[in-house]
Structure 1
Amino acid sequence: MLPIKKILFATDFSECANYAFKYSVILAEKYNAELVMFHAIVMFRDDPNNPDYRFPDMTDCYKTIEKASHKEFDRLCSDWKKLKTKNVVVRGFSPAEEILQYAEAKNMDLIVMGTHGRSAITRFFLGSTAEKVVRFSLCPVVTLREEPKEFIKTRRYGRILFPTDYSEYAQKALKWPVELAKDYHTELDVLHVIEQNIPPQYYSAEISSIFDLDRKLKKRAMKALARFLEGVDRKEVDVRRFIREGKSDVEIVKFAEKRSIDLIVMSSHGMSGIERILMGSTTERVLRRALCPLLTIKG
């Protein structure tokens, strides 16, 4: 069984965060883990639209919000009396930074949080809290944007998806989907997406697939996928291999929806600088589009 003993549930008390709460409770029960309920209060002393104006004494504001936060935590946990929980409310300038600092300081095994998308231009300049946590967290992170009704109802994963690019990061992350598949006695789909554009000159010949251009490519890709999975005991885990072509994030999300995947597990080896700003990573793009929960493992 995966060694999950401390789960950090980060919330802003939104509807999306409430989905994440139910999810984190089920995981905490499964692994007999402590559930830390975490909320970061972020307020500014100065009005950014009028620097000469300062807000009233913030101490009272903080105390009021802290009290309301603890009350909301108690309400959420009212139906889960046997669960080991801890309420944490902190003050800071950035929710993502507070979540990351606390998770590292307390050696959390897993972070669970909701995500709700920003517009493209806002995300370009600010990013989302979930994306920042996924990008920099040292421990695995589960993000949700929709309510995982089937998981909440059955308390198990019916099918798990692990997309791979055969990298060392993916190899290190493979342990998580394999162990989850064992823990939940479920199927594990392993997917590799070939990103290769067809040169325009081939369109007139009605060649629209890279597999038509290289008929042995799919066979070679399947062999590479088999080598990647050599260390997995097929007697313990029902592993199924798939090859697709196209843009990785698009094909991963499409595959997950078509196969009714309950959880996508991906490795993260973030880009830096202008490349990430302009393009983002495949993991971050899947995070923004996937309807099912996404578990990200730091490579």
Structure 2
Amino acid sequence: ELIDRARSDMDLAVLATHGRGGLERAWLGSVADAVVRHVRLPVLLVRPEDDRREAGEAEEIVPRHILAATGGSAAGDASVREAARLARLMDARLTLLRVVSFPAGLASPYIPHAAEMDREVAESREEEARQALATLAGELEVPAVETKIEWAYHPARGILEAVEEVGADLVAVGTHRSSRVARAVLGSVADKVVRASPVPVLVGHVRTEEESAA
């Protein structure tokens, strides 16, 4: 029933994930997992704090600093658009993040002949990311937009490290899901962020070519 409603008349679904320790903390609740996998609208996932839940206290979600991870394109990035909308509604700061991967040689510094080439590749990637972020920031109607480039071996690790570095209290990620695989799982980056993030995660569904043509 919740999935049917989410497909019809909702703009945003807010769901709680498991909040206790052990294996339970490593997995989404079955309802939250099903909603994230099967609906196209943004889903805000919140992990209840054990002490607040046991004390019977309600936890108010009022983000003051939103971190939105992006691949650099505004066209299909639903998570960035939703993050910008929340930032406007709640008068929150918005930081756009681009995670840039290390060149192969930088990941393996014991190859001296590749050092110069790797440096050039790194500089090119950073400049490309900087320009993409500047363009995207200019397209969003948010008063306070900042940009950040994070170097990392894996995008999810870069996103999680950036959350801590900027002090964000909400992180937005996008995910591609194809009908050919029946939306069976989240994209690997979004999945890792959802399971490890210390703050609520806004998951935006990035439309695939199949869905856009439908």
Aligned to 2:82: 176
Aligned to 1:112: 14
Letter in 1 for 2:34: K
Give the CA deviation at 1:242: 0.8
Cα separation, 2, equivalents of 1:132 and 1:211: 44
Q: Note the residue ranges of structure 2 that are not aligned, 5 or more in a row.
A: 53-57, 207-214
Query: Any conservation in 2 of the 1:135–1:268 contact (CA below 8 Å)?
Result: no
**Identical aligned residues as a percent:** 25
Query: Any conservation in 1 of the 2:177–2:183 contact (CA below 8 Å)?
Result: no
- TM-score, normalised via structure 2 length: 0.71
Q: Closer, same or farther in 2 for the Cα pair 1:276/1:250, shift >3 Å?
A: farther
Aligned to 2:101: 195
Q: Closer, same or farther in 2 for the Cα pair 1:101/1:282, shift >3 Å?
A: same
Give the CA deviation at 1:289: 0.8
Cα separation, 1, equivalents of 2:119 and 2:94: 25
Secondary structure of the equivalent of 2:13? strand
Cα separation, 2, equivalents of 1:145 and 1:290: 9
From the CA coordinates, give the structure whose radius of gyration is larger.
Answer: 1
Query: Any conservation in 1 of the 2:64–2:93 contact (CA below 8 Å)?
Result: yes
Letter in 1 for 2:122: D
1:185-224 → structure 2 map (5 Å cutoff): 185-199=91-105, 202-205=109-112, 214-224=122-132
1:120-139 → structure 2 map (5 Å cutoff): 128-139=30-41
Give the CA deviation at 1:255: 1.0
Alignment pair present for 1:267 and 2:174: yes
Q: Note the residue ranges of structure 1 that are not aligned, 5 or more in a row.
A: 1-97
Secondary structure of the equivalent of 2:44? strand
Cα separation, 1, equivalents of 2:86 and 2:119: 33
Query: Which structure exhibits the higher relative contact order, with contacts defined as CA atoms closer than 8 Å and separated by 6 or more residues?
Result: 2
Cα separation, 1, equivalents of 2:121 and 2:145: 29
Secondary structure of the equivalent of 1:188? strand
